[in-house]
């Protein structure tokens, strides 16, 4: 028996914290977890899951349009925001219940409370006004939307946190940012019928993706009617009465809106956690510094997920939580492999990507071979939809290995999840070529690209 109340105390019941706590408890550790909002964290409560439900809702607009060319006639479709919110909330409640149940079934004690560190083994459970001790503490507090508070009227805009709970559907939306959240919400609101303006500070949206992906997504978003303003930032947000806002822009122009939305990145949730007192070092961006074993600078304290500023993705947090539990409570030292993480942006059509962009591959490998195709998917012939599918393979010539696959088009994330297995296993371009096409699909184009692009 140790001298501590628990073997593990996890702070934050999101994807990383829950996985770590459940596994640790399964391995016999006396485990507790504290959550100040709702068990499930960003992904389940105010991120991936409700976002994907909104994407599904939004995509019906394209389907109603496309159906006509296939002979369908129906009444004028009407969208009801309140129904979507209520149904989404019910699903999130269900998932929250599943997470709570799974934790309890594994024997994890749940504190519905904020928890802060007092020292390297002591946690203060705020709602219970008491301290508990643990041999190991796991920081899994995630991240939170960042907003530019230097802008006058910054607080008149919402973030993704609030966007999931708007009372009324906004008819005019202005979004700041050009990353995942900005692109996904711009498409969601546009698909649901809003006028949407995206205001991005740089030249190419999705700057961290292959440039052809940025161009293709930009083109598709414009096609669906999103107004994209590049090299532009907010200068001021002004309240105009009756909920209307006017966004003054760096270009000198202004846009009126019912909803202004910050999507300019997320920051690790480390403020006020008492980390300094416990000897936990933070990086410049406030992220907890960790080594490859998710160890912080304090021997008894570990951190996983977005709070560490590594890849801010749910499956990564889950892997990190599992690796921590394996290493510390199952005698099975496990590290997370960050190479070839598949990624998706749920734009309309969506992006799926794995491996190196062409630009990064050139920088890493020198010369690379590139294969591209851009076509109108068959489904869009009768429907008259103009949306196109874009595919790109990046090949390292020396080994002939496919080191990057980038797709924009219907089904791209699903294709990429499968392709990521092959790419991670070191598939070569010849093996792509040797694979029989599956006809008629869009994915067959992946094994039919034969002509190298001239750089």
Binding site for ligand NDP (CB under 6 A): 148, 176-182, 184, 200-202, 207, 233, 263-266, 312-313, 344-346
Query: For residues 182 and 196, which CB has a smaller minimum distance to ligand NDP in the complex?
Result: 182
31/312 with CB nearer ligand NDP: 312
* Cα separation values, 303 from 9, 37, 309, 337, Å: 12, 19, 10, 16
The DSSP string of 126-158 is GGGTEEEEEEEEEE---EEE---TTSBTGGGSB
The residue whose two tokens read 């980390």 is: 275
Cβ 180 to ligand NDP shortest distance, Å: 4
Please identify, using beta-carbon distances, which residue of 93 and 148 lies nearer to ligand NDP: 148
CB 19 within 8 A of CB 138: no
Report helix, strand or coil for 199: strand
**Coil, strand or helix: which one is 247?**
strand
Smallest distance from ligand NDP to CB 355, Å: 16
CB atoms within 10 A of CB 262: 26
Omega within 30 of 0 (cis) for the link into 440: yes
Q: Which two tokens stand for residue 99?
A: 């997470």
Q: Which is nearer to ligand NDP, 137 or 205 (CB)?
A: 205
DSSP element (H, E) containing 393: strand 389-396
Strand, coil or helix: 59? helix
CB of 235 to ligand NDP, least distance (A): 11
For 333, other C-beta atoms within 10 Å of its C-beta total: 10
Residues in the chain: 455
DSSP string, 346-359: --SS-EEEEE--HH
Taking the complex as a whole, the smallest distance from the CB of residue 199 to ligand NDP amounts, in Å, to 8
CB of 225 to ligand NDP, least distance (A): 20
Contact (Cβ atoms closer than 8 angstroms) between residue 321 and residue 305: yes
Structural contact between residues 274 and 292, judged by C-beta atoms closer than 8 angstroms: no
439 is catalytic: yes
Nearer to ligand NDP, 106 or 341 (CB): 341
* Number of residue whose CB is nearest ligand NDP: 179
Residue 45: CB minimum distance to ligand NDP, A: 14
Measured distance CA(307)–CA(299) in Å, rounded: 18
Residue closer to ligand NDP, measured from CB, 264 or 323:
264
Q: Which residues contact 198 (CB under 8 A, 6 or more apart)?
A: 175, 177, 178, 182, 183, 186, 205, 221, 226, 227, 228, 229
In angstroms, the Cα distances linking 359 to 115, 217, 283, 368, 383 are 44, 17, 28, 9, 35
Nearest CB to ligand NDP, comparing residues 29 and 183: 183
What's the closest the beta carbon of residue 305 comes to ligand NDP, in angstroms? 11
What are the residue numbers of the active site? 439
């Amino acid at each position: 028996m140790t001298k501590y109340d628990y073997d593990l105390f996890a702070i934050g019941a999101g994807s990383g914290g829950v996985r770590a706590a459940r596994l640790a408890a399964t391995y016999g550790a006396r485990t507790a977890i504290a959550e100040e909002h709702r068990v499930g964290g960003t992904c389940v409560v105010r991120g991936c899951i409700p976002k994907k439900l909104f994407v599904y809702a939004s995509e019906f607009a394209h389907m109603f349009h496309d159906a006509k060319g296939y002979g369908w006639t129906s009444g004028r479709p009407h969208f009801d925001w309140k129904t979507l919110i209520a149904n989404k909330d019910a699903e999130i409640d269900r998932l929250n219940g599943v997470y709570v149940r799974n934790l309890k079934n594994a024997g994890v004690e749940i504190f519905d409370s904020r928890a802060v560190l007092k020292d390297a083994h002591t946690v203060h459970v705020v709602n219970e006004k008491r301290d508990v001790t643990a041999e190991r503490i796991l920081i899994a507090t995630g991240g939170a939307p960042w907003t530019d508070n230097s802008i006058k009227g910054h607080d008149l805009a919402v973030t993704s946190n609030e966007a999931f709970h708007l009372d009324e559907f906004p008819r005019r939306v202005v979004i700041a940012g050009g990353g995942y959240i900005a692109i996904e919400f711009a498409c969601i609101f546009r698909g649901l019928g809003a006028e949407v303006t995206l205001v991005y500070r740089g030249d190419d949206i999705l700057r961290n993706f292959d440039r052809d992906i940025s161009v293709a997504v930009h083109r598709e978003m414009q096609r669906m009617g999103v107004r994209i303003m590049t090299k532009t930032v907010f200068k001021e947000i002004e309240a105009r009465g009756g909920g209307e806002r006017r966004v003054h822009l760096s270009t000198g122009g202004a846009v009126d809106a019912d909803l202004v939305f910050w999507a300019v990145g997320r920051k690790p949730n480390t403020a006020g956690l008492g980390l300094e007192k416990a000897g936990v070092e933070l990086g410049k961006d406030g992220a907890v510094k960790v080594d490859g074993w998710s160890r912080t600078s304090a021997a008894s304290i570990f951190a996983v997920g977005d709070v560490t500023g590594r890849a801010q993705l749910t499956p990564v947090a889950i892997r990190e939580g599992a690796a921590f539990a394996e290493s510390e409570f199952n005698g099975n030292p496990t590290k997370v492999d960050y190479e070839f993480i598949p990624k998706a942006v749920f734009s309309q059509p969506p992006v799926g990507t794995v491996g190196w962009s062409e630009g990064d591959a050139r920088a890493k490998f020198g010369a690379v071979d590139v294969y591209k195709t851009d076509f109108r998917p068959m489904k869009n012939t009768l429907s008259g939809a103009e949306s196109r599918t874009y595919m790109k393979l990046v090949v390292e010539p020396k080994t002939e290995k496919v080191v990057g696959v980038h797709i924009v088009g219907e089904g791209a994330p699903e294709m990429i999840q499968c392709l990521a297995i092959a790419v991670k296993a070191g598939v070569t371009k010849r093996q792509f070529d040797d694979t029989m096409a599956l006809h008629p699909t869009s994915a067959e184009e992946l094994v039919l690209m034969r002509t190298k692009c001239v750089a």
